[in-house]
Structure 1
């Protein structure tokens, strides 16, 4: 017997500096914020939004992506340790990857250029904490 899931719900990334990470994710992806604690929030609001953990949770197609600022300042991501290898987001077509290159270049974000990976095209980049991100356009 197995567990029948109905889809993806959310992922939360641990980051070092919420302001730096917010600037990156806002500038590169521009997702709508689903949850965050307002700076002037009273205790009742803070209690109600406890699950935000002083970070932010974005609405992304198919689920939520959260940023949780609890990593030590000297920590760094490695896809070679147990845990996350990379996070991949779908785009509709290769033309969207080409457009993403222009967005990343304008924002000064390093990337690997669009690559042909057989059944898909992909574009690799890293967030300010070095977390490996990927944009993918399936072929055909």
Structure 2
């Protein structure tokens, strides 16, 4: 049986790269490894572990000008892997330092999560497996 590959990259559509890129730089702690205008869209790409996280902006803006809503078809949220709950605690403190609102750490039988949102309301989470 062919082994299913891991994710190579994730691309998120944002409304304004001038707002989103600095926000993600502060969150990630480094700048984009790629920033280019491809014609149909402009993207800034961050290296996050072995995966690339791209922020895409389109010349005509976002469809409908809406903010992200996970109740629509498509993406629900993007979760970043943490080793354990103590790492989540460190990220909770870091989000507080950055002034990023979050929902606090939520413990569940399947793991622990720390949810927050980017400037376009895209749902993000730090997640650790159950202890």
The superposition leaves residues 47-79 of structure 1 with CA deviations (integer Å, 9 ceiling, x where unpaired) of xxx389322011112311100112439321011
Q: Distance in 1 between matches of 2:72 and 2:2?
A: 27
Once the two structures are TM-superposed, the CA of residue 31 in structure 1 deviates from its matched residue by 4.3
Aligned length: 128
Q: Distance in 2 between matches of 1:4 and 1:52?
A: 33
TM-score, length basis structure 1:
0.81
The correspondence for 2:89, drawn from 87, 98, 108, is: 98
Structure 1: gaps (5+ residues): 38-45
Between structure 1 and structure 2, the one with the greater Rg is 1
Once the two structures are TM-superposed, the CA of residue 33 in structure 1 deviates from its matched residue by 2.4
Q: Contact 2:77–2:124 (CA<8 Å) still a contact in 1?
A: yes
Structure 2: gaps (5+ residues): none
Which residue number in structure 2 is paired with residue 19 of structure 1?
18
CA RMSD between the two structures? 2.2
Which residue number in structure 2 is paired with residue 53 of structure 1?
41
TM-score, length basis structure 2:
0.86
The superposition leaves residues 54-113 of structure 1 with CA deviations (integer Å, 9 ceiling, x where unpaired) of 220111123111001124393210111111011111011211111111111111111000
